[in-house]
Amino acid sequence: MKKLHGIGTSDGVAIGRLMLYQNDKLSIEKHYIENTENELARFKAAQKQAEGALNEIYLKLLKQVGEKDSMIFQIHIMMLQDEDFTEAIQEKIVKEQVNAEFAVWETGQEFAEQFAQMDSEYMRGRKTDVIDISRRLIQCLNKSTAAGPVNSEEPFILAAEDLTPSETVKLDQSKVLAIVTRVGSRTSHSAILSRTMGIPAVAGLEDSFEKLKDGMFVIVDGTSGEVLLEPDKATQENYEKRQTESINSKNKLKQSLGNTTIMHNGRTIEVNANIGHPGDVQSALENGADGIGLFRSEFLYMGRDSLPTEDEQFEAYRQVLKKMGKKPVIVRTFDIGADKKVPYLHLPEEENPALGYRAIRICLDQTDLFRTQLRALLRASAFGNLKIMFPMIISTEEIRTAKAILEDIKSDLSAKNIAFDTAVKVGIMIETPAAAVLSSELAKECDFFSIGTNDLTQYTLAADRMNGKISKLYNQRNPAVLKMIEMAAQSAHQAGIPVGICGESAADPALTEFYLKLGIDELSVVSPSVLSLKSALQQAIQSESGKD
């Protein structure tokens, strides 16, 4: 039995068979075709279908973001009709007597190669477009390749180079027992999503990833970061026992702490859940969350072909608010950018995306997108206890501009007699060093703070949160990071507003005492961690009173 070591990114044990997912390579099978006429007809039908879908996306986007930003879909349509491209595919089908999927894929690769060799930067950039349209054509030819990253009747352990957040959200939770990846880190959004979904995960296997083979029987320990290959019977039984014990202790916690409110020095500490989709609310409630401390609304924009409309967003927010009843729900306006990619927005490729055009920067630049989201949020505010939060803030001007837009939408809704919560609370994330340093100024502009320790750590320590190679440097307990948290907490309390933590370090038991000392008002963590955090807080409070 071999043991591989990586970074445990989502707790828990899983036992099962591996399925290797090659996300950068579509596995297109080559078939010999006798009836080439039939194959040509299949190709033409797929071409027509892809054109229709692209045209639909183009027209929808045109209305929402204007001509410039929707143009790329016109270009895709033109490429799809390009005679050189389509004739090359048809020739391949006829001359080589191969299936249309294979002909499209091979031709796409050949054209992509040609684009990559060109002198003009613009033409080199067309490489991804030709691959994109080839994929689209293949999906029209064969629906099963469009269904998601991987399909299987049986539950399996997914092994991949890496997973993007949009690939992770598309996974069928009932089938994926665990996730193992060659690269990755604990605070990448894919890792956070696996924790939210309660799927054990190990990242950063690096070169040892090569030892994983399709169909191999393995044990994944997401707590220790170990992957055991072809374990013997005794080891398997040992881990099965651990699985049962872990379920039992979780059930015990549920019974003893399910509806407990944590009190400290006469004040309540809310223990909330972080979610990415309305579907995550069930698990938040089952795990005893006092509210939603962070709804990463950008996930509503991901894994689809076009922007969610105002009504679609309204419905998603309303569902969450209704299910949560009187409990607070903090929705963060979209934090698109960096690893959270939304291809149909065609944001420019950047040298340093984490420091680039993202989050509130997009909102204040493409105000149409921001206004749609704020309008949906305000309309939904009539159905529960909503708080709106702006991400990546670095200045008072940004808060003032965002709030002015919000006020403008409020006036419009009032004029039209559309119901909304006129006193809806507005807060910001403290996740940049600038925000922490300026926190006493920023506190005057808002109703609450929520400290995003994931980004605050990466920006304070200049250590990329996605880079497993420097995971030792990326330390959320670093004194510089703790100092930033302390500054923000003190500024909030001096201004008389509450402060929460919604980054991953909210669940770190080594920091529970520190947060208690600072008088943090709210901690928000992935749902499966809510009860263990309540228990850690209770123990820390008891031992604090024992010391008095």
Q: Binding partner of residue 329 among ligand PEP, Mg ion, none, CB under 5 to 8 Å per kind?
A: none
Q: DSSP class of residue 201? A: E
Confirm whether 502 is a catalytic residue: yes
The pair of structure tokens assigned to 362 is 């997009």
Draw the binding track, 134-173, toward Mg ion (x: CB under 5 A; -: no contact): ----------------------------------------
Q: Which is nearer to Mg ion, 358 or 534 (CB)?
A: 358
Q: Which is nearer to ligand PEP, 332 or 425 (CB)?
A: 332
Q: Which is nearer to Mg ion, 318 or 340 (CB)?
A: 340
Annotated catalytic residue, options 189, 264, 277, 363 = 189
Least Å distance between CB 57 and ligand PEP?
27
Least Å distance between CB 342 and Mg ion?
16
- Report how far residue 188's alpha carbon sits from residue 198's, in angstroms, rounded to the nearest whole number: 15
Q: Name residue 180's beta-bridge partners.
A: 159, 202
Question: Which ranges of 325-452 does DSSP label H, i.e. alpha helix?
Answer: 360-365, 367-380, 396-415, 433-437, 439-443
Q: DSSP class of residue 349? A: P
Least Å distance between CB 133 and ligand PEP?
31
Choices 77-85, 428-436, 494-502, 540-548; region in contact with Mg ion by CB under 5 A: 428-436
Q: Are 211 and 234 in contact (CB under 8 A)?
A: no
Least Å distance between CB 494 and ligand PEP?
23
Q: Which is nearer to ligand PEP, 290 or 455 (CB)?
A: 455
Question: Which ranges of 336-390 does DSSP label H, i.e. alpha helix?
Answer: 360-365, 367-380
Q: Which is nearer to ligand PEP, 47 or 524 (CB)?
A: 524
Q: Binding partner of residue 278 among ligand PEP, Mg ion, none, CB under 5 to 8 Å per kind?
A: none
Q: Binding partner of residue 11 among ligand PEP, Mg ion, none, CB under 5 to 8 Å per kind?
A: none
Amino acid in position 168: T
Least Å distance between CB 508 and ligand PEP?
12
Least Å distance between CB 356 and Mg ion?
14
Q: Binding partner of residue 502 among Mg ion, ligand PEP, none, CB under 5 to 8 Å per kind?
A: ligand PEP
Least Å distance between CB 105 and ligand PEP?
35
User: Which of 452, 468, 500, 528 is the binder for Mg ion (CB under 5 A)?
Assistant: 452
User: Which of 11, 221, 431, 522 is the binder for Mg ion (CB under 5 A)?
Assistant: 431
Rg from Cα positions in the chain = 25
Residues at the site binding ligand PEP, with contacts judged by CB under 6 A: 294, 296, 335, 431, 452-455, 502-503
Confirm whether 189 is a catalytic residue: yes
Q: Are 391 and 332 in contact (CB under 8 A)?
A: yes
Q: Which is nearer to Mg ion, 102 or 301 (CB)?
A: 301
Q: Are 174 and 153 in contact (CB under 8 A)?
A: no
Q: Which is nearer to ligand PEP, 245 or 350 (CB)?
A: 350
Q: Are strands 292-296 and 267-275 parallel, antiparallel or unpaired?
A: parallel
Choices 275-283, 300-308, 430-438, 492-500; region in contact with Mg ion by CB under 5 A: 430-438
- Measured in degrees and rounded to the nearest 5, phi and psi for residue 328 equal -70, 145
- Report how far residue 23's alpha carbon sits from residue 359's, in angstroms, rounded to the nearest whole number: 27
User: Which of 51, 455, 521, 522 is the binder for Mg ion (CB under 5 A)?
Assistant: 455
- Report how far residue 158's alpha carbon sits from residue 23's, in angstroms, rounded to the nearest whole number: 11
Least Å distance between CB 431 and Mg ion?
5
- C-alpha dihedral, 314 to 319 to 321 to 322, nearest 10°: 130
Range list of β-strands (E), 35-189? 156-160, 176-181
Q: DSSP class of residue 27? A: -
Is 337 a binder of Mg ion (CB under 5 A)?
no
Q: DSSP class of residue 98? A: B
**73 φ/ψ sector (left φ>0, alpha ψ -120 to 50, else beta):** alpha
Q: Which is nearer to ligand PEP, 194 or 454 (CB)?
A: 454
Q: Binding partner of residue 421 among ligand PEP, Mg ion, none, CB under 5 to 8 Å per kind?
A: none
Choices 63-71, 449-457, 475-483, 537-545; region in contact with Mg ion by CB under 5 A: 449-457
Count of CB atoms within 10 A of residue 23's CB?
13
- Report how far residue 332's alpha carbon sits from residue 298's, in angstroms, rounded to the nearest whole number: 8
Q: Binding partner of residue 453 among ligand PEP, Mg ion, none, CB under 5 to 8 Å per kind?
A: ligand PEP
Q: Are 138 and 131 in contact (CB under 8 A)?
A: no
- Report how far residue 116's alpha carbon sits from residue 110's, in angstroms, rounded to the nearest whole number: 10
Q: Binding partner of residue 464 among ligand PEP, Mg ion, none, CB under 5 to 8 Å per kind?
A: none
- Report how far residue 204's alpha carbon sits from residue 162's, in angstroms, rounded to the nearest whole number: 9
Amino acid in position 198: G
**Residues at the interface with Mg ion (CB under 5 A):** 431, 452, 455
List residues with catalytic annotation. 189, 502
